[in-house]
Amino acid sequence: MHVPDPALLRPGRFDRRVTVQAPDKVGREQILRVHTRSVPLAPDVDLSGLAATTVGMVGADLANLVNEAALLAARRTHEQVTMSDFSDSLEKIVLGAARKIMLSDVDRRRTAYHEAGHALTGVLSAGADPVRKISIIPRSRSLGVTLSAPETDQFNYDEQGLLARIRVATGGRAAEEVVYGDQTTGAESDIRQATQLARLMVGRFGMSEEIGFVAVLPQDGEASALQGLTEVSEHTRQRVDAEVKRIVGEAHDQAIGLLTQHRDRLDSLAEALMRAETLDQPEAYAAAGLTAPETATAPAEPALAGAT
């Protein structure tokens, strides 16, 4: 192995940085076509639709997806790799392998309501990403999960969309409160996600009238470079904390209101999850008595919301 001369790495020798962005939908489709050239594909495989559901994946991720799908098809004795093989392989890559644990009926039902709460809140919230798949199969990171993703690549997010994401994150806990009247530890990752997003809205995106059009939180790695961003008063920090609490609290209250108003849909969706364990987008919308978006595609890489 050749090792570059240390002199080449001294400060000032190379000051230009080249940032390589993850491929967009067109790029992902082209990469998938390259990696599937020697793979027998079933007629139902839609590489364009698959590319739309793999937002954020780079070439190595897509190659891994094709390999996993081919292996899964072989284990299932398929002569060709089907769309369901790709869908299940993507789910494994994103969520991790299923855990072989036996949940009690009480825990399964509670998890079903938790995930149904996330999904129904997303479906009923303007600006939220479409729900792609719901599952109550325990995996490496959770007891269940709700996956959602936009129809196209997004590089800019409006305030309504960010608030909808926070509302969806609170939907699992909200469903537990509506149905059971108490709380569990299952919303830990949801709380972390909602809090982080609200803090970014307040401290970096200027989306709070209380704080205003100022940055009070530095980006990762720039605290030492931008001294002004580190000199925030204790009073300002307290105001940021108060705003974060207000935003998340209001989103939580809205989720409770939505699920209370649509309790029949929540019950129906949870019961469907108890029977099937995993629902794709058309099945999930049908169980909730709603119509899936016409442009919907296969299960997507998340925004994830789920019970831990």
Q: What is the pLDDT of residues 9-61, one digit of tens each?
A: 666 665 666 667 788 888 999 999 999 999 999 999 999 888 887 888 889 99
271's tokens: 């019961």
DSSP string, the chain: -----GGGGSTTT-------PPP-HHHHHHHHHHHTTTS-B-TT--HHHHHHT-TT--HHHHHHHHHHHHHHHHHTT-SSB-HHHHHHHHHHHHH-PBP-----HHHHHHHHHHHHHHHHHHHHSTTPPPEEEEE-S-BTTBS-EEEE--SS--S---HHHHHHHHHHHHHHHHHHHHHHSS--GGGHHHHHHHHHHHHHHHHTS---TTT-S---SPPTT-TTT-HHHH---HHHHHHHHHHHHHHHHHHHHHHHHHHHHTHHHHHHHHHHHHHHSEEEHHHHHHHTT-PPPTT--S--PPEEE---
Q: Which domains does the chain have, with CATH numbers?
A: 22-95 (1.10.8.60), 105-305 (1.20.58.760)
pLDDT band of 299, cuts 50, 70, 90: very low
φ, ψ (nearest 5 deg) of residue 87: -60, -45
Quick: pLDDT tens for 183-216.
888 888 899 999 999 999 998 898 888 888 988 8
| Residue 180: pLDDT band with limits 50, 70, 90 | very high
pLDDT score for 4: 63
Tens of pLDDT, residue by residue over 227-239, are 444 567 888 888 8
- The residue ranking higher by pLDDT, 60 or 219, is 60
- In this prediction the pTM is 0.78
C-alpha to C-alpha distance for 304 and 196, rounded to whole angstroms: 14
Q: Which residues are catalytic?
A: 115
